[in-house]
């Protein structure tokens, strides 16, 4: 059999007309995406947030003003600024503003427990955090100012982002959710950073080397590490993805449905950056609400709707789906978790639109590596490599031999979107990137047309609604309880969530422990997405390997969740 590199690239025959695997991919500073959008599409709508619209010219002006203000606060090359907020217009403004000031964006999940936020602030060297005036977030920020290196908090107003009369009613209706901004020099209001009309000093960016975003991921070990994504990584991955959907986009006129959070790399690149590339309108929602999504699609008529399988599944199974018109959608890109064929088929049947394509990628490659071409979808496959991207299947034992077409091995990715490495983690970088290839830890194979099929995950990642949950991280939190002797955490298939988190625990001799007691103990140690949905307390020891390691595989077989 021919190896993958002995053949002419097998996937070229499957490419959409709009894309060319050999297309030139120019590395540029990432903030030039916004500069170019302002120049080409200044009068076009950039963001529609719950009915309040912002043009590219308006967003661009605030980006410049924020960049200037950040420079006055000492932000420049190498300085890290965190963003912790749900989807809101402020995210785009600060994302591009931080980059234009010369800084590096560090994304934070607002649902993280304090312990997780503290670790990330210290590891990433974040000195300034941008957040919103929700009580939950302000309380967290007060803790971080006391316990970490962080010195400043920029606070954005939820009410100010809303249209009238929502902006007037929101504080009245949601007052309990809002916090009071302390009268303290550590806190800076967003309003004080704009309105002056000043532009930032020009900066010099080495797109191939300078870090645009530190995106935290568990990688192959489950210990969170910052993937160093350069300006080139993210700009090029945006251009690669943009080329893939070119046939379904009308620049300056098309629109994207944005229900996935921008702090997640999938939404950051595929929704926010690709929209900016094409001057598209981002129909932005602060969170996923199935009824609001259906109404918004029907009323706002988006062109493009990236999401995770759990969202498509929820839409397909909504009892009133037939009342809503999805005919405007030309492309649905599914990522973040495997897309079951029955979910894709049911979604397309219910919305009466053959529009869904599955892709694949990792945080470490900014994140898109493969995608199915629209109209040439293969069930069970995550598609073919996007322009400039090589997928090779390597022998799992020697990690060097390239395997023939059809043979299963470790999926390895090379291309201009592959990260520089992990921040302050040279050993983990050397283990993950070898000879220019990103070793994914996933097992798969390529067929004769270059389509990639994933058959297993070396990693034990749990994928809950498209979010990565790391068993080791949950186990570490469980082990903090003094009564716990042994613990195994695993993902269990769940129709609505993709997978859900279960924990099996053996108490120490002479100790009593209930599942309710342990769940209460974990409340402030894990985010809601990480919290076990079920805890099984066992009286006998948990299964172990021959060398005495706890065996997740044997446990799942023993519990009847996985076949031997």
Asked if residue 139 is part of any domain, the answer here is yes
* Distance of alpha carbon 183 from alpha carbon 205, whole angstroms: 36
pLDDT digits (tens, 9 = 90+) for 6-25: 456 999 989 988 899 999 99
Side-chain half-sphere CA neighbours of 97 within 13 A: 31
Tell me how many degrees the CA angle 179-180-185 measures, rounded to the nearest 5. 125
Torsion of CA 259, 260, 263, 267, to 10 degrees: -110
| Residue 457, pLDDT score | 64
Query: Residue 407 burial (CB < 10 Å; 0-12/13-18/19+)?
Result: middle
Residue with token string 């029907």: 298
Mean per-residue pLDDT for 342-363? 92
pLDDT, mean of residues 103-131: 96
* Phi, psi torsion values for 453, nearest 5 degrees: -120, 125
Cα atoms found within 13 Å of the Cα of residue 206, Cβ hemisphere only: 6
Q: What is the mean pLDDT of residues 265-289?
A: 97
pLDDT at 6: 43
The count of structural domains within the chain is 2
**pLDDT value at residue 2:** 45
Across-strand partners of 189? 155
pLDDT at 336: 80
* Count of Cβ atoms closer than 10 Å to residue 550 Cβ: 17
Q: What is the CA radius of gyration of the chain?
A: 23
Residue 564 confidence (pLDDT): 56
Q: Is the pLDDT of residue 518 over 60?
A: yes
Distance, C-alpha 244 to centroid of its chain:
19
Whether residue 3 has pLDDT greater than 50:
no
Using the 3D structure, point to which of 172, 187, 204 is the last residue of a domain.
204
Which residue blocks in 457-502 are alpha helix, DSSP H?
471-479
Give Cβ neighbours of residue 539 (< 8 Å, ≥ 6 apart): 506
Q: Please give the residue that has the higher pLDDT: either 231 or 289.
A: 231
User: Within a domain: residue 359?
Assistant: no
Whether 273 has a pLDDT exceeding 50, the answer reads yes
Rounded distance between C-alpha atoms, residue 513 and residue 462, angstroms: 25
Distance between CA 285 and CA 297 in Å, rounded? 11
- pLDDT (0 to 100) of residue 94: 99
Q: How far is CA 492 from CA 453, 460, 479, 532, in A?
A: 22, 11, 21, 11
d(CA 416, CA 412): 14
Contacts of 511 (CB under 8 A, 6+ apart): 482, 483, 485
The pTM for the full model equals 0.84
Closest by CA to 229, choosing from 216, 246, 243, 247, is 216
CATH of the domain at 66: 3.40.50.980
Rounded to an integer, the average pLDDT of 141-157 is: 98
Predicted local confidence at residue 169, as pLDDT? 80
**For the chain, how many residues are written?**
564
SS (H, E, C) 117-143: HHHHHHHHCEEEEEEECEHHHHHHHHH
Question: Bridge partners of 229?
Answer: 213
Q: Which residues contact 202 (CB under 8 A, 6 or more apart)?
A: none
Span 365-377, pLDDT tens digits: 999 999 999 889 9
What pLDDT is recorded for position 18?
83
How would you label 226-257 residue by residue, b for 16+ Cβ within 10 Å and e otherwise?
A: bbbbbbbbbbbbbbbbbbbbeebbeebebbbb
- Distance between CA atoms of residues 98 and 6, nearest Å: 44
Instruction: Let me know if residue 195 belongs to a domain.
Output: yes
Does a structural domain hold residue 429? no
Residue 245 lies in a domain: no
In a domain, 343, yes or no: no
- Cis check: omega of the bond before 367, within 30 degrees of 0: yes
Q: Tokens for 115, please give them.
A: 């312990």
Are 562 and 553 within 8 A, CB to CB?
Answer: yes
- Residue 519 maps to which CATH number? 3.30.300.30
Beta bridge partners of 228: 214, 421
* Whether the predicted pLDDT of 261 surpasses 60: yes
Tens of pLDDT, residue by residue over 62-105, are 999 999 999 999 999 999 999 999 999 999 999 999 999 999 99
Domain presence at residue 121: yes
Residue 235 has pLDDT above 80, yes or no: yes
Per residue in 444-493, pLDDT tens?
999 999 999 987 666 677 889 888 787 878 988 998 998 988 899 999 99
Provide the 8-state DSSP code for 562.
S
Range of the domain at 165: 58-204
The pLDDT tens digits of the residues spanning 390-413 come to: 999 999 888 899 999 999 899 999
Three-state SS for 277-335 is HHCCEEEECCCCCHHHHHHHHHHHCCCECCECHHHHHHHHCCCCHHHCCCCCCCEEEEC
Residue 475: predicted pLDDT: 87
For 450, which DSSP code?
-
Q: Which one of 204, 223, 239 terminates a domain? A: 204
**Which of 189, 204, 219 finishes a domain?**
204
- 304 and 334 in contact (C-beta within 8 Å)? no
What are the backbone dihedrals phi and psi of residue 34, each rounded to the nearest 5 degrees, phi first? Answer: -70, -40
* DSSP secondary structure letters along 167-202: HHHHHHHSGGGB-PPPSSTTEEEGGGGSSS---PPP
Alpha helices in 301-453 (DSSP H): 309-316, 341-351, 426-432
Cα 150 from Cα 126, distance rounded (Å) = 6
Average pLDDT, the chain: 92
> In degrees, to the nearest 5, what angle opens at C-alpha 139 toward C-alphas 135 and 144?
145
In a domain, 415, yes or no: no
Question: What single DSSP character describes residue 20?
Answer: -
Q: Fill in the DSSP letter of residue 435.
A: T
């Amino acid at each position: 059999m021919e190896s993958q590199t002995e053949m002419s690239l097998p996937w070229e025959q499957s490419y959409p007309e709009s894309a060319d695997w050999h297309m030139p991919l120019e590395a540029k500073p990432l903030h030039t995406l916004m500069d170019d959008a302002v120049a080409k599409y200044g009068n076009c709508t950039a963001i529609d947030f719950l009915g309040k619209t912002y043009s590219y010219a308006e967003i661009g002006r605030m980006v410049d003003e924020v960049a200037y203000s950040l420079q006055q606060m000492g932000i420049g090359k190498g300085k890290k600024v965190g963003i912790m907020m749900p989807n809101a217009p402020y995210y785009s403004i600060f994302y591009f503003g931080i980059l234009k000031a010369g800084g590096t964006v560090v994304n934070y999940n607002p649902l993280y427990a304090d312990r997780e936020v503290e670790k990330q602030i210290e590891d990433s060297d974040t000195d300034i955090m941008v957040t919103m005036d929700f009580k939950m977030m302000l309380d967290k920020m007060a803790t971080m100012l006391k316990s970490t290196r962080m010195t400043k908090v920029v606070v954005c107003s939820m009410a100010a982002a809303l249209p009238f009369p929502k902006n007037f009613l929101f504080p009245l209706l949601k007052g309990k959710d809002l916090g009071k901004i302390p009268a303290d020099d550590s806190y800076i209001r967003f309003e004080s950073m704009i309105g002056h009309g000043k532009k930032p000093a020009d900066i010099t960016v080495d797109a191939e080397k300078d870090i645009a975003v530190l995106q935290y991921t568990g990688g192959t070990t489950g210990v969170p590490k910052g993937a160093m994504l350069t300006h080139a990584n993210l700009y090029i991955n945006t251009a690669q993805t943009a080329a893939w959907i070119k046939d379904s986009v009308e620049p300056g006129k098309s629109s994207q449905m944005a229900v996935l959070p921008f702090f997640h790399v999938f939404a950051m690149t595929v929704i926010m950056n690709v929209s900016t590339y094409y001057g598209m309108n981002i129909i932005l929602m602060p969170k996923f609400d199935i009824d609001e999504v259906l109404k918004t699609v029907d009323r706002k008529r988006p062109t493009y709707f990236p999401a995770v399988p759990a969202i498509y599944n929820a839409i397909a199974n909504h009892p009133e789906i037939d009342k809503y018109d999805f005919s405007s959608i030309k492309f649905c890109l599914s990522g973040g978790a495997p897309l079951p064929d029955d979910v894709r088929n049911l979604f397309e049947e219910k919305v009466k639109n053959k529009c869904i394509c599955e892709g694949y990628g990792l945080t470490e490659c900014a994140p898109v590596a493969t995608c199915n071409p629209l109209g040439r979808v293969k069930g069970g496959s995550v598609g073919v490599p996007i322009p400039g991207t090589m997928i090779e299947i390597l022998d799992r034992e020697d990690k060097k031999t390239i395997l023939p077409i059809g043979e299963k091995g470790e999926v390895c990715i090379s291309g201009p979107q592959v990260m520089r490495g992990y921040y302050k983690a040279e050993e983990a970088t050397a283990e993950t990137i070898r000879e220019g290839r990103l070793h994914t830890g996933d097992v798969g194979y390529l067929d004769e047309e270059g389509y990639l099929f994933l058959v297993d995950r070396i990693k034990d990642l749990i994928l809950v609604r498209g979010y990565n949950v790391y068993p080791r991280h949950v186990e570490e939190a469980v082990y903090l309880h003094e009564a716990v002797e042994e613990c195994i955490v695993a993902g269990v298939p769940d129709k609505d969530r993709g997978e859900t988190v279960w924990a099996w625990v053996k108490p120490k001799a002479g100790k009593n422990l209930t599942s309710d007691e342990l769940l209460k103990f974990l409340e402030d140690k894990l985010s809601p997405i990480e919290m076990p949905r079920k805890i099984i307390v066992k009286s006998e020891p948990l299964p172990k390997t021959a060398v005495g390691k706890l065996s997740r595989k044997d446990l799942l077989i023993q519990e009847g969740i996985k076949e031997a």
